[in-house]
Amino acid sequence: MLHKMTKIRGLRLRAADGEIGHVDDFLFDETTWAIRYLVVDTSNWIGGRSVLVSPSVVTSVDWASGSIQVSLSRKTIERSPSLDTADIVPEENLPTIWIM
């Protein structure tokens, strides 16, 4: 099933050990249009940093509660690269991920 990006934007992200923020934006592969990263706003948790989270760590989406579960811990996400400082890996090193 396909969903509009507007339905995913704003969903809260839950790590294995608690909530971390919400989906604020997306980074796409310009060739395939695959989502490479979710840009997660963590302003209520680690002071306004936007971190990049790979869609490959998404374990489930709960539309009723408006949340996305990821397989990472809060500590791992806290150490994730920020949107401003990330050294984006070349596309040949990234798996193709489609949210359906």
Q: Determine whether domain 5-93 maps to CATH 2.30.30.240.
A: yes
**Integer Cα distance of 88 and 100 in angstroms:** 24
Contacts of 34 (CB under 8 A, 6+ apart): 28, 96, 97, 98
Each residue's pLDDT, cut to its tens digit, for the chain (100 residues) gives 567 778 889 999 999 999 999 999 988 888 888 888 899 998 877 667 888 999 999 999 999 999 999 999 999 988 887 777 665 655 544 455 554 4
Domain chopping of the chain, boundaries: 5-93
pTM for the model stands at 0.76
